[in-house]
Amino acid sequence: MSSTVLLGITGGIAAYKSPLLVRLLVKAGMDVHVVMTRNAARFVTPLTLATLSGNPVWEDMWEERHQPSVEHISLADRADVAVIAPATANIIGKIAGGIADDMLTTVLMALTCPLLICPSMNINMYRNPIMQGNLQKLKDVGHRILDPDAGYLACGYTGEGRLPEPECIAEAVGRMLGPRDCAGIRILVTAGPTEEPLDPVRFITNRSSGKMGVAVAERAAARGADVTLVAGPLKVSPPARVRHVPVRTAQEMLDRVMEDFPEADVVVKAAAVADFRPAVMNAAKAKKENIGSSLTLVRNPDILATLGRIRRDDQILVGFAAETSDILQNARSKLKKKNLDMLVLNDVGREGAGFDCDTNIVRFIHRSGLEEQMEIMSKLKVADLILDRVLTMRTARPRGRSEDRCR
């Protein structure tokens, strides 16, 4: 049985991409129902979308179609996932404010399925604090935002605000419709950097944005897992459907991880924990003339090694390694020393891999000796591949206390 996708189209110039998106979704075997605003019809015709989708296109709340039900409720009930592409500043503001004054906003108000919002607008409109506040409000209630691309805009500006390409949107919709094969599994994820304070102003940290760990948490939750995300200061918002435990230092991260570790079935430790911290944390800002030319450091606890020592046989432990030289030798050594089931190796010297970007290039190194080199792909795709391998390992693992609890 095909999945039903509700596609909302609003009145932005990027609506010209909507027919291709409909075509891609239909080609993927999805049943697409289009609801568009009156202004959207100025950019792309309902006839085009009806022809491509094979279904009637809805614009007007009061259009007579001799339907036996209240159609805005029926459309919302049938949808397995909804997507708004393009999503203008106007529609985003309406959704955030709970306004339902036309066919599309009324359908959206009745939705119970996941909603993907694809903003598209002028860069200054996108950066407006009110717009950013509306987007955050939508994230907080569980809606997913597909960040716009950056580039040349129809208004003549250059910057973020471009609607992502239809292929990217179709891929995101496909992920949202993915299997809930992690249902009943408790997954503990760590993400982001840690900050090790020298004084109330200065601290030692690293370049980690937290995107990889957040991607793992997001995909695990989407696939049905019970997810706890213990994260240092993130540069991205944590997923709405996970339990987010914010921390700052390595010691705080260890303490919080240890609280949840006994009940975890799987741990994916993607955080970039600082190896060292200042030996002394000054209560007041240290004057530079008093700091001197050297700083005394002490080693932080090794969270992954600690978990490797105390783990049960029925727990799955996945670690990450960011390397720049002797990468395979270092990664294989880390896998063994820290008693991991799998290590995800990042060669952070390669373009498109590592810190603060949306893509990654990884190699999976397994306890069995199997090694898998992956091509460049989105971090969300990497996250799905990690979860696929976790599920395979759980299937091969003898049944134990954790297995009995989750099945």
Cβ neighbors of 173 (< 8 A, separation 6 or more) are 5, 25, 30, 81, 83, 116
Sign for the CA dihedral angle at 241, 301, 206, 297 comes to: positive
User: d(Cα 45, Cα 370) in Å, to the nearest integer?
Assistant: 53
Helices (H), 156-302: 166-176, 211-222, 250-260, 288-291
Comparing CA positions, the residue from 327, 372, 336 lying closest to residue 354 is 327
Cβ neighbors of 242 (< 8 A, separation 6 or more) are 189, 217, 218, 220, 221, 227, 228, 229
Q: 204, 281 in Cβ contact below 8 A?
A: no
- Three-state SS for 187? strand
- Three-state SS for 33? strand
Using only C-alpha atoms, what is the Rg of the chain? 24
Sign for the CA dihedral angle at 261, 267, 270, 273 comes to: positive
Structure tokens at 336: 């063994």
User: d(Cα 220, Cα 190) in Å, to the nearest integer?
Assistant: 13
Q: 196, 203 in Cβ contact below 8 A?
A: yes
Look up 155 and say whether it is catalytic: yes
- Three-state SS for 365? strand
Amino acid in position 48:
T
Q: Write down the catalytic residue from 113, 118, 155, 406.
A: 155
Long-range contacts of residues 61-65, Cβ cutoff 8 Å, at least 24 apart: 61/102, 61/103, 61/106
Helices (H), 114-210: 123-127, 129-140, 166-176
User: d(Cα 87, Cα 168) in Å, to the nearest integer?
Assistant: 15
The residues assigned a catalytic role are 155
